Amino acid sequence: MPIDPEIVIAKARELLKVPFVVYGRTKRGVDCLGVVIWVGKEVGGLPEDFHMEPYTYPPKPQLWEQYFPQYFDECDVEPGAVLIVRKHPNGSPRHCYFIGANAQTVIGMDEALARLWVTETRLNDDIRARIWKCYRFK
């Protein structure tokens, strides 16, 4: 049975305003994958020794395919799931968020780094047009 999405969302929200740090994995700083990894470990969806390094920055599609199927099930856009998006509608997957309550928001690092901290923003049409895949913890 998947992990309760409300617990996932609550843990993701604990990182709001945590600053951007490339390869960051703690409350002192995270990148987009760092948000997923930290939350995953906190809710028991990922083992404590889980890591995804080394990887290029931003991550390449092979990274998602290599690591995600082992710990995640592909799903529809739903609260508490990890949303992986392309840089542009026909591009490679490059960024990830958690989907917030009622699938109306996303929680994660601002893609454009206009804000250098974790935010919760509206799941808008631009993000929806760039969805590559969506996963939930197994």
What pLDDT is stored for residue 131 in this prediction?
94
Q: Please, are residues 5 and 39 in contact by the beta-carbon 8 Å criterion?
A: no
- The domain in which residue 19 lies consists of 5-137
Question: What's the chain's average pLDDT?
Answer: 89
Query: Are the CB atoms for 107 and 97 separated by under 8 Å?
Result: yes
- pLDDT value of position 88: 82
Number of domains in the chain: 1
pLDDT in tens, 34-91: 999 999 999 999 999 887 766 666 666 777 777 788 899 999 999 999 999 988 888 8
Question: Is the pLDDT score of 114 beyond 80?
Answer: no
pLDDT at 70: 87
For residue 45, is it left (φ>0), alpha (ψ between -120 and 50) or beta? Answer: alpha
Residue 58 sits in a domain whose CATH number is 3.90.1720.10
The larger pLDDT score, comparing residue 113 to residue 109, is at: 109
More confident residue, 115 or 128: 128
Task: Go through the chain and tell me how many residues it has.
Answer: 138
pLDDT on residue 53: 64
Dihedral class, residue 12 (left if φ above 0, else alpha if ψ from -120 to 50, else beta)? alpha
User: pTM value?
Assistant: 0.91
pLDDT tier, 115 (very low <50, low <70, confident <90, very high otherwise): confident
